[in-house]
A and B are shown apart, each in its own frame.
Chain A
Amino acid sequence: GENVEQHPSTLSVQEGDSAVIKCTYSDSASNYFPWYKQELGKGPQLIIDIRSNVGEKKDQRIAVTLNKTAKHFSLHITETQPEDSAVYFCAASPTFEGGSEKLVFGKGTKLTVNP
């Protein structure tokens, strides 16, 4: 089955710096790659996603890049702010069975933005 590896597990940056989180996946059939942000005591919240027919997508300070040949995708956060501190999860969807995308998640990256 699909396996998603996420690095690093923890990341500490200074406010205003950029942060990059990387994920690799194993199933070449995966075609949907969302990123989620999880704050303490809350459920994951989608922040950006990309499908395999595009290589990059941006939304203000957040961008995701996808390299299907190498089977990896990355989250880029620019001009980080303390409120960006959270746990970030990547995911990949290897199948679309029975009318649902079945996501496989990475183990998460705890991002700390120091003021």
Chain B
Amino acid sequence: SYELTQPPSVSVSPGQTASITCSGDKLGDKYVYWYQQKAGQSPVVVIYQDRKRPSGIPERFSGSNSGNTATLTISGTQAMDEAEYYCQAWDSSTVVFGGGTKLTVL
């Protein structure tokens, strides 16, 4: 079965850039989606189709996907961005989620 691998945790200082990776075999050939889940809340999509932002998502969120790695980048990270982030893809008729990355804004 297809697997998506994320680092368990990433730390960033306020105002700096945070990068969260998601790795999978030939991931660049698939669309990747990113969700933000704050404590006690439902996930919210922040990036779809690799790099598109839904309405209402701040411009500081961006995405890329090439080769075996997709990356969610948060520029000018704010305290409110502290959350768990999950990548998701579609492979062989199944939805696959990454294990999640806890973003800590120190």
Q: Is the pairing of A and B real?
A: no
Give residues in A with beta carbon < 8 Å to B. Answer: none
